[in-house]
Chain A
Amino acid sequence: MEPISDQTELLEQYLDGTLEADEAARVEALLREDAAMRDTLEQLRLERDLRVRVFASLEGGHREADAAAERFVASVARREHVRRLARMARFVAAAAAVVLIGFGIGWTGRAALDPQPGPVTPVAQGEAASYRVAVAVTDDAGNVVAVQPFSSIDEAERFSRDLKAWQDNRRQLEQGGVLLVGDRF
């Protein structure tokens, strides 16, 4: 054990209850023999009791401490409320951002999504309307093998005449007839 270098400090630690058991026993042995040391211990104990009283007096009343606690609890509740609102606002803002982004993407890409008209066909509606007469070409059995439209009756009649002359010439040739060179087709 170390020698006692500062009796007061040792007694303070004895009062604090922090000495090891053998150190405490040694102090108690010394106290039994030394009246001055007992007086010092008593003085230290009084000082200590006074300090503890002072610290205890700082506690204040229950009402004051309760009020402080309630103020804090209320501020925590307010803070949580604000935090919940902020969370909700963040969620709404995020949802709005998603909608806006989706709309933006849709708006930007609408040209790619819309069906494009194909190339203009050479047959215009007005042109089709101009075909007023059609000549049906039939075989020997009377089946229609072709239809030729014409824009006027004159053209259709001319085509029919030419076609008939060609058919007659061909039939005459097939029957061993003579084809006149001057015939026109």
Chain B
Amino acid sequence: MEQQPRNVDPTIALFERAVREHSRRLLAIARAIVGHRAAPEDVLQQALLNLYEHRHRYDWREPGGLMRRTVVNEALRILRQPRMTVVAEDHPGRGGSPDEPMEQDETVRAVREAIDRLPEHFRAALVLCEYEQMSYNEIAEVLQCSVAQVKTWLHRGRRQLAGMLKDYVEGKTRKSPDGTDQRSD
């Protein structure tokens, strides 16, 4: 019969399982919010460490929402710090997968860069709404603001993105007849 090691905190086992289960999605949230302004892994590590320190306060049977909130808050906290180090671009799939057409990959990269130029709260609201599919109330709770503020951030974020991507699409279409790129950037 296998014996359980002595003095093992059962919360730690639940916590570790939650980390393994959600790390991929949490890393994406951190990446989307901090962009190139900080290392997403550091954001994730610090957020998980904060949770670990207070692990006894939480119910680890449904930890997804809690972990997302913590990562978002940690990402925003890091972005609020006065000195920000720009980190190397380590976004996954930066080079595109072999199966993905180059043009689609280029479009995705352009959208990423446009998202990265949005104000941090616009980015956070968009990620939580469209990627995490949270309700406005949940987003307001995470970002500690009103629902009206969430609606405003989402609308403005989307419109700013549309404006930036319109420039990108127009730039792409300004090509010479022989197919060479005539953009001035």
Nearest residue in B to A49 (C-beta to C-beta)?
Answer: B130
Does residue B155 face the partner (Cβ distance < 8 Å to A)?
A: yes
Interface residues of A in 1-50 (CB under 8 A from B): 6, 8-9, 12-13, 16, 18, 44, 47-48, 50
Q: Is the interface of B mostly helix, strand, loop or mixed?
A: helix
Nearest residue in A to B47 (C-beta to C-beta)?
Answer: A72
A68 touches B107 (CB 8 A): no
Give the bracket for the number of chain A residues in contact with chain B.
35 or more
Does residue B41 face the partner (Cβ distance < 8 Å to A)?
A: yes
CA distance A13 to B155 in the complex (A): 9
Does residue A66 face the partner (Cβ distance < 8 Å to B)?
A: yes
Q: Which residues of A contact B23 (CB under 8 A)?
A: 65-66, 68-69, 72
Which of B20, B28, B44, B115 is close to A51, meaning CB atoms less than 8 Å apart?
Answer: B115
B27 touches A59 (CB 8 A): yes
Does residue A76 face the partner (Cβ distance < 8 Å to B)?
A: yes
Check A76/B24 contact, CB under 8 A, given A12-B154, A55-B127. no
Q: Which residues of A contact B126 (CB under 8 A)?
A: 51
Does residue B117 face the partner (Cβ distance < 8 Å to A)?
A: no
Q: Which residues of A contact B162 (CB under 8 A)?
A: 47
Does residue B102 face the partner (Cβ distance < 8 Å to A)?
A: no
Check A50/B107 contact, CB under 8 A, given A57-B93, A72-B45. yes
Does residue A62 face the partner (Cβ distance < 8 Å to B)?
A: yes
CB distance from A108 to the nearest CB of B (A): 39
Could you mark each residue 142-159 of chain B with 1 if its beta carbon is under 8 Å from any beta carbon of chain A, else 0?
000000000100110011
CB distance from A43 to the nearest CB of B (A): 8
Nearest residue in B to A6 (C-beta to C-beta)?
Answer: B155
CA distance A137 to B20 in the complex (A): 109
A58 touches B107 (CB 8 A): no
Interface residues of B in 154-177 (CB under 8 A from A): 154-155, 158-159, 161-162, 165
CB distance from A69 to the nearest CB of B (A): 4
29 A-B pairs whose Cβ atoms sit less than 8 Å apart in the complex: A6-B155, A8-B155, A13-B151, A16-B154, A18-B135, A47-B158, A47-B162, A51-B130, A54-B108, A54-B111, A55-B127, A55-B130, A57-B92, A57-B108, A58-B27, A58-B28, A58-B31, A58-B32, A58-B92, A59-B27, A64-B27, A64-B92, A65-B27, A68-B23, A68-B27, A68-B41, A68-B44, A68-B45, A76-B52
Name B's A-contacting residues (CB within 8 A): 7, 12, 15-16, 19-20, 23-25, 27-28, 31-32, 41, 44-45, 48-49, 52, 91-93, 107-108, 111-112, 115, 126-127, 129-131, 135-136, 151, 154-155, 158-159, 161-162, 165
